[in-house]
Amino acid sequence: MEALIQVLRQLQASAFIYYTKAHGYHWNVEGILFDQFHEFFSEIYNDAWASVDDYAEWIRIFSQFAEFNVQNVLAASSVKYDLDMNVNNPITMLKSLQASNDQIVSDLKNAINVASGANEQAVGNFFQDRLSAHEKFRWKISASLKTMMAN
């Protein structure tokens, strides 16, 4: 059960960092495709923000406390900040979100195995739902990058 709590905490932290990155990119993106990416980043951060609460609730379901200390969240996250706030290029932002999303996809696949090993199918189903959401974002980000890189 400890391994399951650990992956929940790590995924909650990663979702939080992913959320802040997408929200920051939403604020700071510039260029001719501003409206498109402003909205797309909003879609990503709204999904990520909702998941942060869902992860915390699963942690509480298992009678553990959800982390909220920002320093501890940063330390627990597998998603890291890789751009500073002065970056406003949507391609650079998309590549950053792509790497973060890919990391979360990998972490979720591991979490599904951990949940299965702990015989905790309900949280495993939650992980599968999150994996589906991140796989869809993987597709959208990749498709956006293909279009932008071709021009």
How do the domains of the chain map onto residue ranges?
Answer: 2-150
The 10s digit of each residue's pLDDT in 16-61 is 999 999 999 999 999 999 999 999 999 999 999 999 999 999 999 9
Can you give the pLDDT at residue 150? Answer: 62
Which pLDDT score is estimated for 149? 66
Distance CA 105, CA 142 (A): 14
The CATH number of the structural domain formed by 2-150 is 1.20.1260.10
User: What is the reported pLDDT for 151?
Assistant: 56
Closest Cα to residue 41, out of 87, 90, 82, 77? Answer: 90
pLDDT of residue 84 exceeding 90, the answer is no
Q: Considering the entire predicted model, what is its pTM?
A: 0.94
| Residue 101 C-beta-side C-alpha neighbours within 13 Å | 25
* Residue 148 pLDDT greater than 80, yes or no: no
pLDDT in tens, 97-139: 999 999 999 999 999 999 999 999 999 999 999 999 999 999 9
Tokens for 96, please give them. Answer: 């950053």
Would the pLDDT of 87 be above 90? no
